[in-house]
């Protein structure tokens, strides 16, 4: 019996979309107002899902208190109220699109969660735009 | 790295559930108040998801501005504030259930989106009823 | 101690915005796609709020089971899966804008709810447009 | 053409997390405030999804009225306003975690839904914690 | 310039509706399944609103960090994962309806918030039922 | 018959909380991580409500198409994807708290909306924090 358990979290951050290999004109052409050099920002909503067997003693796939702690330590403490381009090393050369942020978050969580558990994350950049990544 | 990116859109429309091969009595029996000949309507919420590789230059699976434009041109302009039974050719003989509307929307979008991208749509007929179609 | 208690309900209906004293051209000019003669529709979400004293014996301002029954009998049974222009007498001459629907709903409920209770209703036509009426 | 149709339902219940093979101290250590012997409770939101072929005559994968009736009879009437530990036989020895409740609900529904339809359920214990089970 | 600032919080609790001056039969008649002696429960969502002047130095009506701390200390720590009838002294004789819970919460907060600020709370017992109290 | 009609809109922006009359240390002490000099950001959700009489010819208090246009021109075009501290003149000396942003938005809209209509705005900084201002 494989069950998926999911937990929501959120963080607020500033970012801009920008490819440093391009001219400013091309950045503006491709990324539009998202490339504003003064930054804009979002309330990111994060859903972390882990799939695995139910432990017969606890009835848990994974203790949600433990998952919450991992999310807080690995993600919220790192991303919340930050400027992603300026303050997160990963995005010094990587464009902080929702897709790339999702991959970075997945990688950070993957190393902290039991490998018997399949990990998927969903990241809402706005209530209308979101991305999902499972490591495939 | 395959990431799924999703975008929400919405349209309002009138419809009735009706099989023109059946008697009115059988339509009423099967479809109940949904077969009201004077129509009823819904705020349809649409989620369009495309799954594919992240382009290394942009950090995008697909430019959301482009996806939004395709959704607006192919779906919203066609379905919004319309009577689906009376004004959409597809539903002149096809019952506009949420299932059938989803398949029609998927087909319309499929022809406009890069075939390297897997396409899934979710259509909410009401906040409590929704359908998902991936072309399988 | 005056407390306001609120209950949500919903109904689906078709309508068009139309002033029968005007030419079709003027209807189109003023109401745009909302004047489509073939109708469109909405999932209307209704919030009914009553404000009054807490009964010391029950701890209720009003029994929510009773309020739910009144909403179902007076509103949902009358509006759900209907064409408002064609099937509700009130809108044979009154344009079924969200504002006018709200006033009609308020009047129907007012006559069934204890006059010691202040009545307010909020009606969502879409998740982005809503109206509130308190009988003032 | 396989389409998934989903319907939301909800019920309210009391529960506590408790393993009767353990000491109270260990229950408290593992389950924290969720092991309060006086119980706490939740508004459980349930999404039932069935995947299958669209019937050409109706345009339905499954009649939502029929699915609603099954959910009400098999789940809501059994779980709503109940104490899960005290009043549901299944949880006399099984810890009513969201994971275990989901499996029990899935089993109850599976026996009532056509085996040609794949069944998945999602159960929200709170707006921030939810589980999904597909019988795998 | 009077601005209202609001903050959401939530807690989970078990309760039953019960008037100890009544017979069990009358409790069942009036409160229905809400009077289940084994309790049921809810995810209560709380919105705390304070209205007052903007402080010119901070731009705040009230520091949300301070309001969050007061809500946590006075309400969440007291109500979360509790059985309201059994564990909160206030409800040893007072029926824990949403109305009465709202009044108790308001009173607890009122004594901790500057009297120059008008206080209103909204308490959702379920996503469909909620109450509002302003101390009037 | 005074009815309130409301319309939702949204914009994304970066900001920091900062009083330029204070030392950096005091800014950090009072505003915490919100004072990050590199900025953070939000998805701001805006609800604009106007209250007035229903026009007998249209059934509208105010044409929502017109209100949408005013919101877009006066607010969204000015605030969306901007750095509020750096790019909006109003916040060169005024701290862009939710309270102050709400007052600025209200003032911008007030001058464009008929004075017979009472104007109220609600601004969500996050799904958990929001402010309301009516010009009182």
- F-chain residues near E49 (CB < 8 A): 132
- The DSSP 8-state label assigned to residue F58 in this structure reads T
Q: DSSP states of E35-54 as a string?
A: G-TT-EEEEEEEEEEEEEEP
**Does residue C1 register a pLDDT over 90?**
no
Q: Which residues have CB under 8 Å from D17's CB, separation 6+?
A: A59, D27, D31, D34, D35, D95, D96, D97
First to last CA, chain E: 22
CA atoms lying within 13 Å on the CB side of residue A53: 5
Angle, alpha carbons A96-B47-B105 (nearest 5°): 130
A9 touches chain F (CB under 8 A): no
Mean pLDDT by 10 residues, chain D (136 residues): 97 97 96 97 98 98 97 98 98 97 98 98 98 96
CB pairs < 8 Å spanning A and F: 75
Q: DSSP states of A59-109 as a string?
A: S-SS-HHHHHHHHIIIIIHHHTTEEHHHH-GGGGTS---HHHHHHHHHHHH
Please, what are the domains in chain F?
Answer: 2-133 (3.30.479.10)
Q: Which residues have CB under 8 Å from F68's CB, separation 6+?
A: F7, F9
Within a 10 A sphere around the Cβ of B49, how many other Cβ atoms? Answer: 20
Average pLDDT, chain A: 97
Average pLDDT, chain C: 97
In this complex, the residue of B30, B128, B133 whose CB is nearest that of residue D3 is B133
* Contact between E100 and C59 using a beta-carbon 8 Å cutoff: yes
> pLDDT tens digits for F90-129?
999 999 999 999 999 999 999 999 999 999 999 999 999 9
> pLDDT tens digits for B47-85?
999 999 999 999 999 999 999 999 999 999 999 999 999
Reported pTM: 0.97
In this complex, the residue of E3, E49, E64 whose CB is nearest that of residue F133 is E3
Residues of chain D with pLDDT > 70, as a percent, come to 100
pLDDT number for residue C15: 98
- The DSSP 8-state label assigned to residue F89 in this structure reads G
Residues of chain C with pLDDT > 70, as a percent, come to 100
Q: In chain B, positions 70-129, which contact chain C (CB-CB < 8 Å)? A: 80-83, 86-87, 126-127
* Residues of C catalogued as catalytic: 34, 81, 125
Residues of chain B with pLDDT > 70, as a percent, come to 100
* Contact between B33 and C126 using a beta-carbon 8 Å cutoff: no
Taking 50 as the pLDDT cut, the residues of chain B under it are none
- φ, ψ of residue C67 in degrees (nearest 5): -65, -40
> pLDDT tens digits for A46-61?
999 999 999 999 999 9
Within a 10 A sphere around the Cβ of D17, how many other Cβ atoms? Answer: 22
pLDDT number for residue E32: 97
* Shortest Cα distance, chain A CAs vs residue D58, angstroms: 32
Query: What confidence category does residue E111 fall into, taking pLDDT thresholds of 50, 70 and 90?
Result: very high
Distance separating alpha carbons of residues C78 and C92, to the nearest angstrom: 15
In this complex, the residue of C6, C59, C65 whose CB is nearest that of residue E97 is C59
> pLDDT tens digits for A72-124?
999 999 999 999 999 999 999 999 999 999 999 999 999 999 999 999 999 99
Select from C2, C9, C46, C58 the residue whose CB has the most chain E CBs within 10 Å, as the one to mutate to test that interface.
C58
> pLDDT tens digits for D7-21?
999 999 999 999 999
pLDDT number for residue A1: 86
Mean pLDDT, residues C79-83: 98
Query: What confidence category does residue F46 fall into, taking pLDDT thresholds of 50, 70 and 90?
Result: very high
Query: What confidence category does residue F1 fall into, taking pLDDT thresholds of 50, 70 and 90?
Result: confident
Alpha helices, DSSP H, located in F9-57: 24-31
pLDDT number for residue B59: 98
* Contact between E59 and F131 using a beta-carbon 8 Å cutoff: no
| Contact yes or no for E129/E43 (Cβ under 8 A) | no
Catalytic residue among E40, E55, E66, E81: E81
F29 touches chain E (CB under 8 A): no
Q: Which residue of C has its CA nearest to B34?
A: C81
């Amino acid at each position: 019996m494989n069950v998926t358990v999911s937990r929501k979290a959120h963080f607020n951050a500033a970012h801009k979309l920008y490819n440093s290999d391009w001219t400013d004109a091309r950045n503006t052409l491709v990324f539009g107002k998202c490339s504003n050099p003064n930054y804009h920002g979002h309330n990111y909503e994060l859903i972390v899902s882990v799939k695995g067997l139910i432990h017969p003693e606890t009835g848990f796939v994974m203790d949600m208190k433990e998952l919450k702690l991992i999310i807080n330590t690995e993600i919220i403490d790192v991303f919340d109220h930050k400027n992603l381009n300026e303050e997160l090393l990963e995005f010094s050369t990587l464009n902080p699109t929702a897709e790339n942020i999702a991959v970075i978050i997945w990688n950070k969580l993957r190393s902290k969660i039991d490998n018997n558990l399949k990990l998927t994350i969903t990241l809402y950049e706005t209530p209308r735009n979101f991305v999902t990544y499972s490591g495939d």
